[in-house]
Amino acid sequence: MIDLDTYVQLLGLVQNSIIAGAVLGLVGGLVGVFVMQRDMAFAVHGISELSFAGAAAALLLGVNVVAGSLVGSLIAAVLIGLLGARARDRNSIIGVLMPAGLGLGILFLALYPGRSANKFSLLTGQIIAVDSPQLAWLVGISVVVLVALLLLWRPLTFDSLDPDVAAARGVPSRFVALAFMVLLGLIVAVSVQIIGALLVMALLVTPAAAALRVSASPVLVPVLASVFGLFSAVAGILLAIAGSLPISPYITTISFAIYVACRLIGRASRRGVRVAI
């Protein structure tokens, strides 16, 4: 362990990382609510592997890693959105894209002559490895996703629940579905930088899944999901800098613990009186 003075010093150094983690946790939780409703957890995983490939390519070419990650993410998201309108098609497309992306990423990393810490961080995350201008980018992208998601909120809810009826009521389903995929691609690219391609779901799936266990309110679920996401990310970073372990396992463990707790609470409340929250 380290003493308090050193911790405070470190805290100053990673201040930006904490802000980025907080914003990602919050927005990721919100996006997760729709990931769950649209049954897209597997898509999140697929997009993150292509995002990893993009980032690895950028590393190899010596260009901006966030940009590379974004390009990979968006290509995957749009492909899945265009080719996989139906759930069954979607899963097969993701199943095909995922190993291709992961394989390419590993190839690029193998060719990359630089520090191996950089390589590893793309898969399992290390926000400290991201410098300030890039952090600004991550926060900026997250905010864009947040605003766009709020503007899309109602049509997206309708389309997630019942695309046929939504289309009949004037929701431009294709546009809404594709727009959501783009937002998902953007937020995945940010998450890959912070917790790594393999662990993206801890911030994009777990918090929302936990929230859905304890509430069915259209207001409370998104609020809880963002609070859970934010808490996991920030607490994970704060714990990690006190020790020598990487950040990701802290974030994933906290996020998982919240989920388990919510399951237990949900079960208890279903047994007792149903609370209409």
Residue 233 near residue 206, CB atoms below 8 Å: no
Q: What residues numbered 28-57 form the site for other proteins, per CB under 8 A?
A: 33, 37
Q: Does 218 bind other proteins (CB under 8 A)?
A: yes
Nearer to other proteins, 76 or 210 (CB): 210
Q: Which residues of 5-37 are buried (b: 16+ CB within 10 A; e: fewer)?
A: eeeeeeeeebebbbbbbbbbbbbbbbbbbbbbb
Q: Considering only CA atoms, which of 227, 173, 170 is closest in space to residue 203? A: 227
Q: Does 167 bind other proteins (CB under 8 A)?
A: yes
Residue 93 near residue 80, CB atoms below 8 Å: yes
Residue 124 near residue 196, CB atoms below 8 Å: yes
Residue 199 near residue 251, CB atoms below 8 Å: yes
Among 169, 245, 260, 267, binds other proteins (CB under 8 A): 169
Q: Does 212 bind other proteins (CB under 8 A)?
A: yes
Q: How far apart are CA 244 and CA 249, in angstroms?
A: 12
Q: Does 267 bind other proteins (CB under 8 A)?
A: no
- Joined together, the tokens standing for residue 266 give 């949900």
Q: How far is the CB of 253 from other proteins (least distance, A)?
A: 24
Q: Does 153 bind other proteins (CB under 8 A)?
A: yes
Q: Does 154 bind other proteins (CB under 8 A)?
A: yes
Q: How far is the CB of 251 from other proteins (least distance, A)?
A: 24
Nearer to other proteins, 78 or 223 (CB): 223
Single-letter amino acid code for the residue at 38:
R
Nearer to other proteins, 90 or 213 (CB): 213
Q: Does 171 bind other proteins (CB under 8 A)?
A: yes
How many C-beta neighbours within 10 Å does residue 153 have?
A: 15
Among 42, 52, 108, 158, binds other proteins (CB under 8 A): 158
Residue 277 near residue 217, CB atoms below 8 Å: yes
Q: How far is the CB of 224 from other proteins (least distance, A)?
A: 10
Among 152, 178, 182, 265, binds other proteins (CB under 8 A): 152
Binding site for other proteins (CB under 8 A): 33, 37, 150-155, 157-158, 161-162, 164-172, 211-213, 215-218, 220-222, 274, 276
